[in-house]
Structure 1
Amino acid sequence: MLTSLQIKNFAIVSELNIDWRSGMTAITGETGAGKSIAIDALSLCLGERADANAIRPQSNKAEISAQFDIRNLPQAQKFLSELLLDDEEQNCILRRVITRNGRSKSFINGSSVTAAQLKELGQMLIAIHGQHAHQLLLKPEHQLGLLDAYAGHNNLLNAVKAQYTHYQKLQKEHSHLLKQQQAQAAKKQLLEYQVEELDEFALQEGEYEQIEAEHNRLSHSQTLVENCQRELMCLYEQDDQTVLGQLQHSVQTFTELSSLDKSLESISSMLSEAAVQLEEACREIRSYGESVEQDPIRLQEIEERITQAMALSRKHQIPPDQLAAHHQSLKQELENICSDNARIDDLEHEIAEALHAYHISANQLSESRAIYAEKLNELITQSMHELSMENGRFAIELVKESDRRPNECGMDSIDFLVSTNPGQPMQALAKVASGGELSRISLAIQVIIANKVTTPTLIFDEVDVGISGPTASQVGKQLRLLGKSTQVICVTHLPQVACSGHQQFFVKKEVDNEQTYTSMQPLSEHLRIDEIARLLGGDSVSETTRASAKELLAVQGCA
């Protein structure tokens, strides 16, 4: 329940502090006084779009703060608890600040939040029914929303929305892959040819380096053998003229000399080790020379493979030693494209399943809508009779379109039908109802919906436009009755509605030093009689209108 509202520098309001009570509160005032300013400010505080033009002239910012008692609102309590914004006393304070640059700041219980979070919480606290609600009543999407609000089948709505979202996601992926498939058709063909060619060549990782080394060895085998033989003769096999022979002679010489001078022993030892190493090297040279192959056939095979590798490397514009890695990369790319094609097949199956699940949920929603539509038909028809439309009939036409393209609202098309005169066929609301009749039907629906939807505070902003006389009296009684279970705030210009309130505020506009100010004050019993009298007499208050005001208050149960 709304308990207080503070407004600073908003529109023509300099500063306004209002305490609210339970029951029905009527707000009246002179034309142009700004009866709806408090409602506009409250809407802004609840997260509606901010506009710098709403700031009072010569002020830098506007600030609106609203306090709520949420002791009986578990949904709001849960929301605040999840955001760590809850209050031990179960109070909730919403605050909005708008600056001249068009920016705004939002707060819940003193903590900064987004406007979206403020709006989400606001929808749990207040429902505002504006003076243009009867115009919205002609729109099918609004009609469907009213039926769903009355039915309260949020679980079915959420199921349909979830199935639709899943279906849309799969469709989007499928469409993306199809476009990708079309774009990659030529690329896939090229990749298949390239991979097949490289598969046939089958160059392994590191193979090019190996065959390049083998080619180098085979193509120079004669040179390797000849040089090995020549050096072996020089080192080892040329009688006493070999390097080994001379080294062995030096070993013997320094061995003999070391007996004369011990300091030469190390030289003798090093030369001896060198001789051993040289003998070992000679054996290695002989072994290598004997092992060198001179295989022209193998050399030709290698040259052909290197030639192929060089041709492929030029074709793919990469070094030949990277061909194997490039081959694997192309194979992976081709596998990805083929995998996408397989995914398309899987998606088609998943889409069919998602569509089936969507239709199941949508059918359940349609069945629920049909049940509640019948109930709403009776209630609205009865309310039309009470609002001076004795011969009125109301019906909701629901058509389930099974072949309709899926959407988050289900498969139903809707139309509100009405007949206002005896013998008149049921026709679409827009074709039959006059402005006044449309206002009454709209108000009837709003009161019925509001009575079913458990929003703790309901605001009716001049929804009684086009209504007068006995009808206005009945409207007032319905709103007062609604106020027994829900906090109702009603901006009105009708004395019959105003006197139905459990309490009443008067909005007044004053000009001081060329500045305009708006104030809102609760009316005492005496002042309330004067205000009702003013509404009855067209701004003229007399003893006659005062007597009529007292009588009207008594008739409406407020005296």
Structure 2
Amino acid sequence: MLIHLSIKNLAIVKSLDIDFRQGLSVITGETGAGKSIAIDALGLCLGDRAEASLVRANSSKADVSATFDTTQLLNVQKWLIDNDFMDADEVPADLIIRRVISSEGRSKAYINGFPVPLQQLKLLASNLVSVHGQHAHQQLLKPDMQKRVVDNFADHADLLHDVKSHYGSLNQAHRELELLLGEQQSRTDRKSLLEYQVQELDEFALSENEFQELEIEHKKLSNSQTLLEQTQKSFYCLYDADENSAMNAVQTSVEMLAELQEHDAELSPIVAILNEALINLDEASNQLRAYSDKLEIDPMRMQQVEQRYSKALDFARKHGVRPEALYNCHQLLATELSELNKQEESLDALQQQLSVLNSQYLKSAKKLSESRIIASQALAQQVETHIQAMNMTKAKFSVQVDFDPRQSASSSGLDRIQFTISTNPGIAPDALDKVVSGGELSRVGLALQVISSKGNQIPTMIFDEVDTGISGPTASVVGKLLRKLGASCQVICVTHLPQVAASGNQQMFVTKFTDNETTETHMICLKENERIEELARLLAGDTLTDSAIANAKELLQHYQ
């Protein structure tokens, strides 16, 4: 529970230290004195947004810290252990949360002296304090809030998780289906084009590297007559021209120089070179003869190669690629067509999957609805009991849960939940916003907050003027209700009602001091005689009469 709150240079507070006890602590004070300043400061420790305007004028920073006793808070201890703020064998000590806000609006948060991001602070805070603001009752008019209240009361987190999980799968499948359907026309058009292109290329059936081979063969066949004539002529010049052939000339030179090398050894290398030339000339002549013998002039083959080569060039121009890349282009188009066919198959499979997912979602949503119906009956009965005790003796409260499988799926199920009430006999129940006054709504809201607090593990509940619009005997009932709640958890309540103030186990008084230059807010814990004076002020105004004092004493004794 919260045991201490320290505030420095926050708004109109210069320095303030407050000790809190178990039970119901009430905060009262003059209008505009800053009764909610402690709640605002604690909110900063719980992760509320910080602004530069919160820093007291002429101060460089505001500093607030809240100290909690975690001895009995096993879930908080586990969180601290899991996040390395304490060891598993460590004896639980006080938990200190600190928030520092600079005059520029920057803020820092600390848990037991360790700096932490704000999101982590909020996770811890959700296990420590539950705050109910003075405008919280208005939220009850919203259908989503009514649904949340029922779910919190029902405590069926596992059913909510199932619905949310099935909804996530169903929603993902819907998005995939919408994407496929949205692209279906363009996919169909593209598929038709690809089918034509791939079929055309399949029929042509160009193999890998075939174009390069066609190009070589085409060039050879195109020049086959010239190749034959020139190679035969070369062979004649090298070998077959009798005395005028290259072979004969080199042979003659070799014979002449062979005789001379006996007279000059320097000619020997030249003779060796010429002998090697003879060998090469002979080899070249043989190869030329073989080449020209096998070289055929085949007009039919020339026509076939010409046609296929030209067709390959046409396809390359048609697809906007180099002829050498036509084979790869064919493979890419075939792959794309295959992928489009798979998407068509996926569309059919996805539609079948959607049917299964939708069935699973409906089943889980129906189970959730059945649990809500059971919980809503118990919730309505308890709310009705509480509000009848708060001077709404003829009120009839009910919770309608309508399961509608025709509405769009949502992560919270398929229920329409509405709180209805009849405040007078003979009047049909209707929605809260059409029936109740502000004070009656406050009573309904307070009843729901008290009911929803039962069984939760949050040790501290804060009510910031939630009794607005309540007075007279009803205020007395509210005070008793809050005091009873304080027996099971720590309750802090900002109030202007003397009946609620008298019901507190501890009463804080907030006052404002000004010297025409600066303004400060002070908060003190009242002793019994001081409480009587404050209760008398709440009962009778600023002028304290003997009658008001007597009434205050009687009121305080009634609750203590």
Equivalent residue number for residue 148 of structure 1: 151
The residue matched to 1:5 in structure 2 has which SS? strand
Query: In the alignment, residue 473 of structure 2 is paired with which amino acid?
Result: P
Please say if 1:539 is aligned against 2:538.
no
Equivalent residue number for residue 197 of structure 2: 194
- Residues 395-432 of structure 1: CA distance to partner in whole angstroms, max 9, x if unpaired? 11111112221101111111112233334433322233
Equivalent residue number for residue 24 of structure 1: 24
Equivalent residue runs for 1:110-509 within 5 Å: 110-252=113-255, 265-509=268-512
Equivalent residue number for residue 46 of structure 2: 46
Equivalent residue number for residue 521 of structure 2: 518
With normalisation by structure 1, the TM-score equals 0.92
Query: In the alignment, residue 9 of structure 2 is paired with which amino acid?
Result: N
Distance, in Å, in 1 between the alignment partners of 2:448 and 2:462 is: 14
Distance, in Å, in 1 between the alignment partners of 2:400 and 2:356 is: 30
Query: In the alignment, residue 65 of structure 2 is paired with which amino acid?
Result: S
CA apart distance, 1:261: 5.7
Distance, in Å, in 2 between the alignment partners of 1:544 and 1:257 is: 159
Distance, in Å, in 1 between the alignment partners of 2:558 and 2:204 is: 103
- Residues 310-352 of structure 1: CA distance to partner in whole angstroms, max 9, x if unpaired? 2222222222222222222222222222222222212112221
Distance, in Å, in 1 between the alignment partners of 2:545 and 2:180 is: 80
Going from structure 1 to structure 2, the CA distance change for 1:355 and 1:439 (only over 3 Å counts) comes to same
Distance, in Å, in 2 between the alignment partners of 1:294 and 1:537 is: 128
Going from structure 1 to structure 2, the CA distance change for 1:520 and 1:74 (only over 3 Å counts) comes to same
Aligned residue pair count: 557
Range with bigger deviation, 389-398 or 207-216 = 389-398
Distance, in Å, in 2 between the alignment partners of 1:392 and 1:537 is: 31
Query: In the alignment, residue 41 of structure 1 is paired with which amino acid?
Result: A
Range with bigger deviation, 489-498 or 114-123 = 114-123
CA RMSD of aligned residues (A): 2.5
The residue matched to 1:31 in structure 2 has which SS? coil
Going from structure 1 to structure 2, the CA distance change for 1:424 and 1:452 (only over 3 Å counts) comes to farther
- Residues 52-93 of structure 1: CA distance to partner in whole angstroms, max 9, x if unpaired? 433333445444333333444444444444444447545544
CA contact (8 A) 1:150 1:452 kept: no
CA apart distance, 1:260: 5.5
CA apart distance, 1:124: 2.1
Range with bigger deviation, 269-278 or 218-227 = 269-278
CA apart distance, 1:188: 2.7
CA contact (8 A) 1:473 1:556 kept: no
Distance, in Å, in 2 between the alignment partners of 1:198 and 1:269 is: 60
**Percent identity over the alignment?**
47
CA apart distance, 1:291: 2.0
Going from structure 1 to structure 2, the CA distance change for 1:518 and 1:311 (only over 3 Å counts) comes to same
CA apart distance, 1:180: 1.7
The residue matched to 1:506 in structure 2 has which SS? strand
CA apart distance, 1:478: 1.6
Distance, in Å, in 2 between the alignment partners of 1:147 and 1:299 is: 88
Going from structure 1 to structure 2, the CA distance change for 1:397 and 1:514 (only over 3 Å counts) comes to same
CA apart distance, 1:250: 4.2
CA contact (8 A) 1:152 1:453 kept: no
Going from structure 1 to structure 2, the CA distance change for 1:531 and 1:299 (only over 3 Å counts) comes to same
- Residues 95-116 of structure 1: CA distance to partner in whole angstroms, max 9, x if unpaired? 4444455554444444444433
Range with bigger deviation, 355-364 or 541-550 = 541-550
Distance, in Å, in 1 between the alignment partners of 2:23 and 2:112 is: 25
CA apart distance, 1:117: 3.2
CA apart distance, 1:263: 5.8
CA apart distance, 1:199: 2.1
The residue matched to 1:124 in structure 2 has which SS? coil
CA contact (8 A) 1:529 1:549 kept: yes
Distance, in Å, in 2 between the alignment partners of 1:11 and 1:440 is: 32
CA apart distance, 1:448: 0.8
Going from structure 1 to structure 2, the CA distance change for 1:134 and 1:268 (only over 3 Å counts) comes to same
Distance, in Å, in 1 between the alignment partners of 2:204 and 2:307 is: 11
Gaps of 5+ in 1: none
Going from structure 1 to structure 2, the CA distance change for 1:257 and 1:525 (only over 3 Å counts) comes to farther
CA apart distance, 1:471: 2.1
Please say if 1:8 is aligned against 2:8.
yes
Query: In the alignment, residue 529 of structure 1 is paired with which amino acid?
Result: I
CA apart distance, 1:19: 3.0
CA contact (8 A) 1:381 1:392 kept: yes
